[in-house]
Structure 1
Amino acid sequence: MRRVFLVFLLILAIAKSSGFFVQDSEWDNYKAKFGKTYRDLFEETFSRLCYGFNKFEIQNHNDRYKRGIESYRVEVNQFSDLKFVNFVGMFPPTTDIQSNAVPFTVLNTPPQSSFSYTAQGFTSPVQNQGIVCNGGWAYATATTIQIFYASISGNLNSELLSAQNLIDCAGEATSCSKQVPQTAFDYLTKMNQKLYPESEYRNNPTRTQGMCVLPVASTAGKTLRSYSSIEDGNDDMLKSAVNFFAPVVIKINPANFGFMHYKEGLYTQPRPTRNAALYVTVVGYGIDEKTKKNYWLVQNSFGSTWGEAGMMRIEMNSAKPIARSGVFPSE
């Protein structure tokens, strides 16, 4: 025990001398803001050192942003007490499955120059998937289905649909690891299942996959007859689908410090350093007033404190298309 304590003191001394160790008041404020708790002093000290290092990198990035070198700003958030490799490890790579999706074809009618469901008032509240379950595939699927039905019905006050419903019932044994949205869509279409509102099947970002316990005698819930897929790399097809049909779930690689800490501006996709997968929902596209550059509007499930109130704008780039594993409800 004495040896363990001495090792701890050594780690603490190294941390304080590194220049990345933050003051008690700042650290306490961070823990309170994001509800952080740690198993022991070792874990907390290491997390505190990670926070200090990430804060240093954030300041460097934002200095470049002020000078016009970077196109987006980053900020301390719920991931800032993690090592970058641990953040990336939360989103292991996934493999597409043979699904029941109908391939989508670009329409003859050209899409609008800018369009978003958010601007039209058809929204789904930004959710926080937490850090214990990689359930972005379920949150993205629930988001697109809710907005799809809201837009075709004209209902601006549609009820939030449950991602937990999909995590517990559609994800088989991999809901919190390597699951994909096609499984959720197949669960709803091939198995004729309902997606229940969150009021009847509560989201729980603090736990992993649970038992599938569907509401008894419920008359609520949404059903789907079919869904469609987007050709990988075809951003024209993606734009057409978003404009004329529904928000589209895509796979994105979050293995970038800028993505981890994104706050605002036009995110530029870097060459990924590691293979990772996160599912998000493309809810629109537009033109940035300041730079006059085209962008995609993407809804994430990292909570409203991440990004632009939970949203990210990704710069359109024909050399770096974002259409990847895209699926959306079609009927």
Structure 2
Amino acid sequence: MYADAIDTDERPFVLIWEVTQACELACKHCRAEAEPQRHPDELTTAEGKQLLDEAASFGDDQLVVLSGGDPLARDDVPELVEYGTDQGLQMTMTPSGTNSLTPDRIQGLADSGLRRMAVSLDGASAATHDEFRQETGSFEQTIEAARHAKRAGLPLQINTTVCGETIEELPAIRDLVADLGAVLWSVFFLVPVGRGRVLDPISPECAERVMEWLCSVQSDAPFGIKTTEAPHYRRVALQQQTDSEAGPKPDGIGRRTGITAGDGFAFVSHTGELFPSGFLAESAGNVRDESLVKLYRNADLFEELRDPDALQGKCGACPYRNVCGGSRSRAYAHTGDPLESDPLCSFVPEEYDGPLPASWDGATSQVSGD
């Protein structure tokens, strides 16, 4: 089932469950500002299984991503993966690149039914990646984990953050993604929350160039590409007259077109709060007290985020608002209003003469290389 075949008023294409905020790393961009210790009020194993039961009631093959922090800070993760798989869920995971990712644990996750493992590379070498992740050895541990995942038969996804500190690394990371045999490169455009507030943002013009470059990479890459918190990648692709049938490649879990916060995407925090995304921390309620399904379908915040006509500023006037809609998380981070314009988008609709998003003096680097 493809994302564009799902009625996102009724169910998310992606449900993220932040099983813990505990992590051994102190990454520069960390949304959760993770710490080594687990929070005492995390959802328990029993509560987690109840959450997975609720997720399964959305419909067949609901995609669930176990995230963190580092999910492997919890010993019950293989049990949760197996339980979710038995309920008919597509269980995937984004562990941290630490020594917790041993070959035995990766094989155990595969045996439990995990459908995909995603690891992060924010540099193409130990020097650049480890500096970003604030942990010596993280690069080598991540590379080894990626190779073990392939040996265990787990499809591999690579996640990369785009900001001033990483942008020059993108061509080399692209080559590494291909060398590792990944099925998908997920390119995350920084949202200034958590520790990420101190990183260097890129300018809207630079973001446009990166997306144009990603379109060119996608044309012959052996892996799919998706952007996170940059739905205007779809607008860029359309403007480049990308053929709709040969556009973004299916990636093994059904994603062909993008999704946005609250519209095809939902995030359950480690303590059960339901957010439109992990980068838009405005709660619609807590799954300990209310039905996940009812909250997603009926909460006012989620209903507003699924209405392209509710968008404001140039996003509201944009002819691409039904295929893009801008990052609601970034709009919220900059203005406190998730319906405002995404300040990372440089596109101004014809005849629009209203206010433009506040800009910033970000990096002006551009991707170089073949």
State the TM-score, normalized to the length of structure 1: 0.23
Structure number with bigger Rg: 1
State the TM-score, normalized to the length of structure 2: 0.21
